[in-house]
Structures are given as C-alpha cells and as structure tokens.
Amino acid sequence: MQKKIKKVIIPAAGWGTRFLPLTKVVHKELIPVLNKPIIHFLVEEAVASGIEEIILVISPRKLEILKYFNVNSELEHQLKKSGKIEFLHKVKETNSLAKISIAIQNEQLGLGHAIFSAADLIDNEPFGVILGDDLIKSKVPALKQLMEVYYRTGNSVLGVQSIPKKDISKYGVMNPKNQLDALKNEFAIKGAVEKPKPEEAPSDKAILGRYIFTPELMPLLRTLKPGVGNEINVVDAFEPLMKMGQEIIAFTFKGTRYDLGSMEGFVKANIDYALEDELINETILNHIKTKY
C-alpha cells in the first residue's frame, strides 16, 4: 500500500518574459483563459485529483498571487449589497478552493531549485508537481491519471505526450529503457535529457508539466549542480534516483494540452474554452465563421 499523495507543488516564481510587456504588471499565473487565471485551473486540477494542500512557490515580488485565493471582504460586501449573488459565489469559490501554502524562492535557479524551495513543507511523503505552462483539458484530471500509476506501481511518474521534432528542444525528453517501449503509453525510462537538439532527442515523448515524485527526490535535489541552461534541472535527479534502485515511469496522459508558455497556446486555449462555454460559444463561432 503506497503512502497517500496529499500535496502538490506549483512553481510560480518566474518572470514570465515571453509575455512581456504584460508581465511587467500582471503575473504570468494571473493571465486569464476566459475569466479565470491560469493558476485557478491548476489548483482546480489538483483538487479534482484529491490533493489536500497546494504549495505555491513564489518570489517575494509575487505575493499578490495569494490575494486571488484570499477573502476580499470589501468586494464580497459590495456584491451582497447589490444582490449580485451569482458573482458573490464566484468570488467566494476562489477563497475556498483548497488549503494554499507558500514557499519563497528568492532566486530563480531552475525547476529543480523551485521544487526544492518547498522542501520544508514536504515531509517524508510522495508529492505532485504541476507546471503553469501546461494547461491540460481532460475528462480525468491529468494529475489524477499519474497518481493512479503511482498507487499501482509505487514509482515516480512523469506525464508525457509525443511532441513534433521541431518543438522537442523546449522540453525534458524521455530515454526509454527499450526503444520499442516508447510506443506504449506507459514505460520505464533509463534517463531523460533536458532540452536536447532535435537530432539528439532519445524519443518524441516530452515531459509536459505533471510529475509525481517519491520522497527520495527532495534530498537529491539539494545535491544537484547547474546543468543545461545553467539551471538546476529536475531531470538531472533522475539518474541518482534510479541508482538508488527506483524506477521512473513515463506515462502518456489522456487530454488536450495547451502550451501556455507561448502566445499560440494561449490563444488556442481561449478559443477552445470559449467554444465550450454555453454563454458565448454561438457568438464566437459566428464571428469566426463570418470573418474568416
């Protein structure tokens, strides 16, 4: 019987440079898909997966993200007074989504460093990681799909999908134990390469922002030296983890993944969510059909 996964770490300390100039004043995680900021979707996914506590890793300059999850009494009072009950519920929902904790990352030294910044809030327990650049729309929440693999196998699990060769250099890429395994939707890896050149990528399966780690990962992160991009990369902990006798499983989750690290991904997400929103879908579809 595996230990229960109760906590998820969401790194949210970066500068959001790809969205400048907007991110000069709006934190990347607060940019919306329709009327909800990215961070809301990520927390919802964690909660729908059965997670009890969300640890946001933020920099001291991003404390405002917390405001989104805190009570705004003045706004609630106004909405109540003017009888806007539907909006009041929407606002209240954001205060009660989950238990939110924060960990401060003073310097942005890479994903491995961001995860390690939450070490004090993780006991000797398995935990999940959700990255804000990857929004995943699926029937079963993506994190939950990974958690099921963990509960069945007891191994660390990486959420992967196939990525076209031209884009592979943006990601951590799986090296399957056996090349044929890369055709399966679940396989053990012998390693992973961070942001390889297309011709050097060991497969087309890239990690897309969802991870489950066994408790042994945290102490290993402390020992890592900067690697690719001069960053402390979490993939560099995989080899030492496997040397300890652990398997790492790459699992192809089901769902549509939007790359919210890119403008195209953001626009696609907004279009798809709009076309599924019963209040606005007809108007948007008509607009697209008549204009293009």
134 binds ligand G1P (CB under 6 A): yes
Residue 292 tokens read as 């293009």
Cβ nearer to ligand G1P, comparing 42 with 206: 206
Between CA 225 and CA 237 the distance in angstroms is 10
Do 251 and 211 touch, CB atoms closer than 8 A? Answer: no
* C-alpha dihedral sign at 62, 63, 64, 66: positive
142 binds ligand G1P (CB under 6 A): no
CA 37 vs. chain centroid, Å, equals: 13
The residues near 240 (Cβ < 8 Å, ≥ 6 apart) are 220, 223
The nearest distance, CB 194 to ligand G1P, in angstroms, is: 5
| N- to C-terminal Cα separation, the chain | 55
Cβ nearer to ligand G1P, comparing 70 with 229: 229
Between CA 216 and CA 131 the distance in angstroms is 20
Cβ nearer to ligand G1P, comparing 79 with 103: 103
| Binding test (CB under 6 A) with ligand G1P, winner from 126, 141, 196, 209 | 209
248 binds ligand G1P (CB under 6 A): no
| Binding test (CB under 6 A) with ligand G1P, winner from 131, 217, 249, 260 | 131
133 binds ligand G1P (CB under 6 A): yes
Cβ nearer to ligand G1P, comparing 198 with 282: 198
The residues near 111 (Cβ < 8 Å, ≥ 6 apart) are 11, 131, 231, 232, 233, 234
| Binding test (CB under 6 A) with ligand G1P, winner from 207, 220, 269, 274 | 207
8, β-bridge pairs: 54, 128
111 binds ligand G1P (CB under 6 A): yes
If binding means CB under 6 A, how many residues of this protein chain bind ligand G1P?
14
Q: Which residues bind ligand G1P (CB under 6 A)?
A: 111, 131, 133-134, 171-172, 194, 206-209, 233, 235, 261
